[in-house]
Amino acid sequence: MTCYDCEILKENADAHIKELKRRISNLEDLPTIVSENADNIQHCYELIYELKDRIEELIQEINGLKLIQIISLTQKSNQPITEIEQKKLSEVKLKKF
């Protein structure tokens, strides 16, 4: 083995060592990144459930407003309110307060 071959071997070994150190460094950062991502995912789920609840509330409010509008229109046209409409109206009033 010549001195030139020894120099090439040394350079290759240095390159491999640097590559291994880089990979190990990346692995050391991995638990932090995974933990941060898990926290972000959990936060996103919490936001999704909050929004789902809020959407349900809005749907109920919209249905209540629709019912109030129907009752208002029927009263304006001098039609009697049906038992079902009266029941729904009282349910809407109870939910609001």
> Encoding tokens for residue 88?
């729904």
Q: How confident is the model at residue 55 (pLDDT cuts 50, 70, 90)?
A: very high
pLDDT value at residue 13: 78
Average pLDDT over residues 37-57: 92
71: CB partners within 8 A, 6+ apart = 81, 85, 89
pLDDT band of 8, cuts 50, 70, 90: confident
Total domains, the chain: 1
Domain residues for the domain of 36 are 3-96
Average pLDDT, the chain: 79
Cβ neighbours around 15 below 10 Å, total: 10
Measured in Å, how far apart are the chain's first and last C-alpha atoms? Answer: 92
Query: How high is the pLDDT of residue 97?
Result: 43
Q: Which residue has the higher pLDDT, 60 or 93?
A: 60
Residue 81 and residue 75: Cα distance in Å, rounded?
7
